[in-house]
């Protein structure tokens, strides 16, 4: 792997989050669900070149936790962290939900 290239991995939790989101959307429109699935996956996969492009998660930075970053795609927040030359996608959360409680429950 060349310098500046990272591997992107999805945790089981993040995969499960994405599956639930897509299943919910697919109940109304399978076409829209496929589009959103592809867009979220692509946004996360782009981290292989620029893993620090996302902002630090504000709800966690309030508590001094600065290792988690996020990308925003429409309503969804893609939470991840870097570790060496790896990027770990940890969660995909609907930003309309009480994100602070979800994040604190998962990451603290």
Residue range 7-44, pLDDT digits in tens: 999 999 999 999 999 999 999 999 999 999 999 999 99
Distance of CA 11 to the CA centre of its chain: 10
- CB-based contacts of 69, cutoff 8 Å, min separation 6: 51, 52, 54, 55, 56, 57, 79, 80, 81, 82
DSSP 34-63: HHHHHHHHHHHHGGGT-TT-SEE-HHHHTT
Of the two residues 51 and 105, the one the predictor is more confident about is: 51
CB atoms under 10 Å from CB of 38, counted, come to 10
Each domain of the chain, given as residue ranges in start order, spans 7-107
Structure confidence by residue, pLDDT tens digits, 68-100: 999 999 999 999 999 999 999 999 999 888 777
Whole-number pLDDT of residue 106: 75
Looking at residues 35-64, what average pLDDT do you find? 94
CATH for the stretch 7-107: 3.30.2310.20
Predicted pLDDT of residue 1 = 42
Using pLDDT thresholds of 50, 70 and 90, give the confidence band for residue 107.
low
């Amino acid at each position: 792997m060349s310098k500046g290239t990272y591997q992107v991995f999805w945790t089981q939790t993040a995969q499960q989050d994405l599956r639930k989101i897509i299943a919910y959307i697919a109940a109304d429109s399978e076409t829209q669900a496929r589009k959103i699935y592809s867009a979220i996956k692509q946004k996360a996969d782009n981290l292989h070149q620029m893993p620090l492009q996302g902002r630090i998660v504000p709800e966690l930075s309030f508590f001094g936790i600065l290792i988690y970053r996020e990308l925003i795609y429409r309503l969804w927040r893609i939470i991840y962290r870097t570790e060496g030359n790896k990027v770990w996608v940890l969660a995909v959360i609907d930003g309309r939900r009480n994100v602070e409680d979800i994040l604190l429950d998962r990451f603290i």
